[in-house]
């Protein structure tokens, strides 16, 4: 491939034809539909979820960054994972490929971490449907 491999996608961007306040309301609703708790102290431009269990010893957190003007708002969805057991990376979650104990969710993950990325895709699909 010319220029080397493409970077691994670590975020999903959705453009909504609404102002930030309405985009925030829709994003929070999409998070709630996925049973994701909104963290206390989320500001007007960034919505963060509380820590959620992805597996027995791996936790995740989701984030939506809002940007734009009154005529439209971009919502950039991303997520991260972490394990409390810093001595044992979550090997079994990626088909035997070692991962650091903390990192960003990406489109190429498999297993439970792939399921966490799929959750971001479902949130994006809900937001896209709400913008039609």
Burial of 55: CB neighbours in 10 Å, binned 0-12, 13-18, 19+: middle
40 located within any domain: yes
Range of the domain at 43: 11-130
Q: How confident is the model at residue 7 (pLDDT cuts 50, 70, 90)?
A: confident
User: Parallel, antiparallel, or unpaired: how do β-strands 58-69 and 52-53 relate?
Assistant: antiparallel
| Structure-model confidence comparison of residues 7 and 106, the more confident one | 106
Lookup: tokens for 89: 């990376």
114 located within any domain: yes
User: Parallel, antiparallel, or unpaired: how do β-strands 46-48 and 52-53 relate?
Assistant: unpaired
38 located within any domain: yes
3 located within any domain: no
4 located within any domain: no
pLDDT digits (tens, 9 = 90+) for 34-81: 999 999 766 779 999 999 998 877 899 999 999 987 689 999 999 999
pLDDT digits (tens, 9 = 90+) for 70-102: 689 999 999 999 887 656 555 544 555 667 778
Domain count, the chain: 1
């Amino acid at each position: 491939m010319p220029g080397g491999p493409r970077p691994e996608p670590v975020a999903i961007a959705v453009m909504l034809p609404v102002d930030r306040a309405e985009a925030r309301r829709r994003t929070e609703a999409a998070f709630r539909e996925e049973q994701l708790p909104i963290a206390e102290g989320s500001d007007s431009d960034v919505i963060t979820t509380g820590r959620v269990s992805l597996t027995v010893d791996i936790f995740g957190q989701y984030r939506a960054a809002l940007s734009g003007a009154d005529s439209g708002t971009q919502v950039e969805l991303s997520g991260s994972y972490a394990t409390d057991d810093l001595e044992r990376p979550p090997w079994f979650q990626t088909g035997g490929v070692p991962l650091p104990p903390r990192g960003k969710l990406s489109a190429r993950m498999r297993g439970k971490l792939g399921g966490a990325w799929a959750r971001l895709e479902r949130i994006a699909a809900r937001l896209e449907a709400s913008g039609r």
